[in-house]
Amino acid sequence: MTTPLLGTSFIGHSRATGTEACGFGIQPGTGTSLEPAYHSATPEEVEKAMALAAAAFPAYSALSGKLRAGLLRAIATEIEGAVEDIVERGLLETGLPEARLRGETGRTTGQLRMFASQIEEGSWVDARIERADPDRKPIPKVDLRSMLRPLGPVAVFCASNFPLAFSVAGGDTASALAAGCPVVVIAHAAHPGVAEIVANAVIRAAHATGMPEGIFSVLYGGGRKVGQAVVKHPVTQAVGFTGSRSGGTALMAAANSRPQPIPVYAEMSSVNPVVILPGALDRGEEALAEAFFGSLTLGVGQFCTNPGLVFLPAEKGGAFLTKLKSLVEAGTPGMMLNASICQSYADSTAAFAATPGVETLARSANQAGPGQGAPAVFVVSIGDFLKHEALQGEMFGPATLIVRGSLGEIEAVIPKLEGQLTASIHATTEELAAQASLVQALQGRAGRLIFNGFPTGVEVCSSMVHGGPFPATSDGRSTSVGTMAIYRFCRPVAWQSFPDAALPAELQDANPLGIRRMDPAVPA
């Protein structure tokens, strides 16, 4: 390890001195504690991190997009420089394989650079200009110009299942820093060491680019204790979260109970329905089963986009089920992220198996070792599916529920589903055209529609929507992946009758930044 791990929070540029131990990194499978012990931020240290964030906000939010982009690029470079440490520690504390850790590091640095490019270019602020018209009748028109401005300090909760891309310097942090918001991160107990390595990289980048102290802090001590205090703190203006439905809804309640309620962008629970139409089965049931199994078991099923619910025509699909059964039976158990996720996978699959009407089509014949999860597939009729609301719940791991019914029944059930991150449809193009109302119903329930594909593998780009109606997310108008994620941490501000020189550069007459603007005086 190039920089020794200290096991303490980052309060702006300083390290905390809190001495209350809150746990160790734990090696999945063996349960071995990994040095060092981690220590909770004290209430005074939380207060100090919040005060620093509040103090940093005016200066940081006033920096140009180019300067903030410099910070994001410097963070990416520092993380790349720490990749060997990330892999060494990540292998020990996350159960993830090396290729995944390296790949996720690349995704994280790619996200940082994507937001850097977005704010360097600058048009994202949605500048709108309406010039004054003193001669307008019956009343003169005032000069009115608007653009997006950052909200203020943002609390970011690290996710257990993405120790890099949705954690300390992940998408929530990158988009909040890009918008001009200081960030206070709540580390996840499942990967405290990786969090510390990445936090060190961010602090080095903040120093190197001359950023005001307080734009970034990382607190240990968990969500229930330290995280709740940060969410309730008056300085905090928004929350980014990826995790369980119970955690996300608890944070929504905390944010709403404040004297000033604030937005919570929580990505929580999605089973990502896959609808298979007869034409897709006619193309080759076995090949479809193989492709589905690949998506189901990717990352031991621990993705928010895991396909946990399939609608299959009742009268067809025998070969699909036979093939899937054989794949699942031969399926290899994989190490899960931590003991608690492994236990909740065992509990949820057992609960599905015990639900009246649910048949266990297949479980892996290979014995799962300690900390491992093995593939499983269950089948139920659409009638029994509708009788048991719990069957809409998430089995976080490589398990899926196949629901069989007529096409009419399937279409009728879609509007009754909870909100989803994704919905997939497998069909011929002719079927797709003929089933417009089914597609419309899926659109009403999900943030991303997929044709003849599977939901795992989330492209990070400007048109990605990784969001959806509750409980997929707390606010279906947002995405936590892609450049649109920046809009979660801004609000529109209008300037009325301000002199040109007193306006932000984005709104000045000469358009000194050369950005795209909505300006009727300038032809597009």
Catalytic residues: 267, 304
- 157 lines the binding site for ligand NAP (CB under 6 A): yes
- 478 lines the binding site for ligand NAP (CB under 6 A): no
Nearest to 188 by CA among 172, 210, 212: 172
- 300 lines the binding site for ligand NAP (CB under 6 A): no
Alpha carbon distance 191, 163 (integer Å): 7
Smallest gap from residue 439 Cβ to ligand NAP (A): 24
Alpha carbon distance 27, 90 (integer Å): 10
- 396 lines the binding site for ligand NAP (CB under 6 A): yes
Backbone angles phi, psi at 229, to 5 degrees: -65, -40
- 255 lines the binding site for ligand NAP (CB under 6 A): no
Cβ(221)–Cβ(113) under 8 Å?
Answer: no
- 258 lines the binding site for ligand NAP (CB under 6 A): no
- 23 lines the binding site for ligand NAP (CB under 6 A): no
Cβ(419)–Cβ(470) under 8 Å?
Answer: yes
Strands 144-150 and 128-130 come out as antiparallel
Smallest gap from residue 231 Cβ to ligand NAP (A): 7
Nearest to 378 by CA among 393, 362, 391: 362
Alpha carbon distance 280, 428 (integer Å): 6
DSSP state of 225: I
- 275 lines the binding site for ligand NAP (CB under 6 A): no
- 355 lines the binding site for ligand NAP (CB under 6 A): no
In DSSP terms, 309 is beta-bridged to 401
With contacts defined by CB under 6 A, name the span among 71-79, 86-94, 264-272, 287-295 that binds ligand NAP: 264-272
With contacts defined by CB under 6 A, name the span among 159-167, 202-210, 274-282, 399-407 that binds ligand NAP: 159-167
DSSP-derived secondary structure for 435-476: THHHHHHHHHHEEEEEESS-S-S---STT-----TTTTBS-T
Tokens of 114: 């994507």
- 274 lines the binding site for ligand NAP (CB under 6 A): no
- 232 lines the binding site for ligand NAP (CB under 6 A): no
Binding mask 323-352 for ligand NAP (x = CB under 6 A): ------------------x--x--------
Smallest gap from residue 49 Cβ to ligand NAP (A): 16
Count other Cβ atoms within 10 Å, centred on residue 210. 10
Q: Which is nearer to ligand NAP, 122 or 227 (CB)?
A: 227
With contacts defined by CB under 6 A, name the span among 42-50, 262-270, 353-361, 412-420 that binds ligand NAP: 262-270
Query: What residue ranges bind ligand NAP (CB under 6 A)?
Result: 157, 159-161, 186, 188-189, 222-224, 227-228, 242-244, 246-247, 250-251, 267-270, 304, 341, 344, 394, 396
